[in-house]
Chains A and B, each alone.
Chain A
Amino acid sequence: MRQRIIAALGVTVLAVTGLTACGDDSGSGGGGGKIVIGVKFDQPGLGLKEGSKNTGMDVDVAKYVAKELGYAEDKIEFKESPSAQRETLLANGQVKMILATYSITDARKEKVSFAGPYLVAGQDLLVKADSTITGPEDLAGKKLCSVTGSTSAQKVADKFAKTVQLQKYDTYSKCVEALAGGAIDAVTTDNTILAGFAAQPANQGKFKVVGKTFSTEHYGVGLKKGDKDTCEKVNTALKKMVDSGEWQKAFDANIGPSGLKLDPATNPPKTFDPCA
């Protein structure tokens, strides 16, 4: 009996390790002439998956960078990278790089390396088209929505905790739903994300982005910690994208329709962080 149990355990362990070995092969970033890039699947205008197609600013930048690194479009595999999993995906090598509204912060720099920034956004408010809210100073006594665990929610809690009631959901689309339903006065996160929701066909004309940012978010390309080589190549590619006008084209196609104007002093980014 005992021997049987040991044998059974042994087989299980072998099976499991065998499986993970397979997983490693297919998952490794550059293996087999393919590149796996992490993007968001649920952010219109930045990284959205519709059917089998990925669209958005993040996706277009990713495609351009991949092309510069020598990967044709059919060699790119887009993988969803939810905020909480980004560092792990990079550390395990399941994705080569991440372009997913990934703000460069000091805490994150300890776990991953960043190229870029390729876009500079700022925290803003989304309100109903007929709302009287014109900026964060009008929020006293109002109800505000953001996503659990997001830096946007924390910033609001720090700044306006006493006067604002904060509703948190797991996704921004629920916030937008609640805003449409009238239970919430404003949604807050980066202006680029808000603009994407406002520009969705189903929401057109219903909402507006207030346009008074109260933070600066540098969207970087997340890379495995210490991958200096790729980082420099990505920066070169980003510079080329900006200089050639391709960046502007991608911006106009993805974020332009929402009417959002980004700060021209910082966008498109002309200087990139040194790779470390």
Chain B
Amino acid sequence: MHLISELFSDYPIFGAFKQTIYLTLLSAVFALLIGTVVAVMRVSPIRVLQLIGTGYVNIVRNTPLTLVIVFCNLGLFIQLGVAVANKSSDTFIDTNNFRLAVLGLSVYHASFVAEAIRSGVNTVPLGQAEAARAIGLPFLKTLRHVVLPQAFRGAIAPLGNVLIALTKNSTVASVIGVADSSATMKDMMENRPDVLFVTFGIFAVGFVILTLPVGILFTSLSKRLAVKR
């Protein structure tokens, strides 16, 4: 017990998990936005949009996340000079890397969000869309007022899975230098090889604490909010 409190005072473990939480929440919001747009494109009646949506999902989903994140830094920033923070700032590198990581994580997980929402759309009976069209609603209004509200409620459980995956995947951000939990774990492993398993334990427990309530919450939400048919 003494050892654990010593590790907590020597290393910024809470700060690191805070960084992980920020990364996860910000990326989750953007992934949900991008993913919804992509899902709408995939279920739209317009062929070109369908193709773009399908292309996005298949390309991004099948690219390793590490590659996506490294591309955001080495490709976008180093090679193409795309900076997403104030270049003259004292914390330019940290801010820029954090935002690039959020970008990479959102783009990657948007493909999974899109598929989750599409699976939700498939739970909505065809008759609902037909009825909406019958009373004269155009495609977007059908979607907004009739299909998507039911689709989201049907997609809660898979969206929860995406969020849990996103929480754990956010550790990949450490490859471009974001000081998240996995970066701190590497620091601790380098300095305290004598307590390797305690270190692993702390971070394993940390992630369980982060993800377990999410799982429970989303499972109960999916039961409570699902449209009973």
Contact = CB atoms under 8 A, between A and B. Distances in A.
Nearest to A166: B93
Contacts of B187: 148-149, 154
A143 B93 contact: yes
B78 to A, nearest CB: 4
Interface string A147-178: 01111001000000000011111100010011
A56 B37 CA distance: 52
B77 interface: yes
A264 interface: no
Interface stretch (B56-64, B114-122, B174-182): B174-182
Contact of A181 (B78, B91, B92, B196): B78
A108 interface: yes
Interface residues of B, number: 26
A149 B190 contact: yes
B7 to A, nearest CB: 13
Nearest to A168: B177
Contacts of B91: 165
Contact of B175 (A110, A112, A143, A170): A170
B177 A177 contact: no
B164 interface: no
A108 B193 CA distance: 6
Nearest to A86: B193
Contacts of A239: none
Contact of B92 (A84, A86, A165): A165
B21 interface: no
B194 interface: yes
Interface in A79-118: 83-84, 86-88, 107-108, 110-112
Contacts of B193: 86-87, 107-108, 110-112
Q: Which of A88, A107, A148, A178 has the most CB of B within 10 A?
A: A148
B190 A177 contact: no
Contacts of B183: 148-149, 168
A166 B191 CA distance: 19
Interface string A44-71: 0000000000000000000000000000
B74 A148 contact: no
A7 interface: no
What 9 pairs across the A-B complex have the smallest Cβ distances? A149-B186, A168-B177, A181-B78, A87-B193, A110-B194, A170-B175, A149-B190, A165-B93, A111-B193
Interface of A: 83-84, 86-88, 107-108, 110-112, 143, 148-151, 154, 165-170, 174, 177-178, 181-183
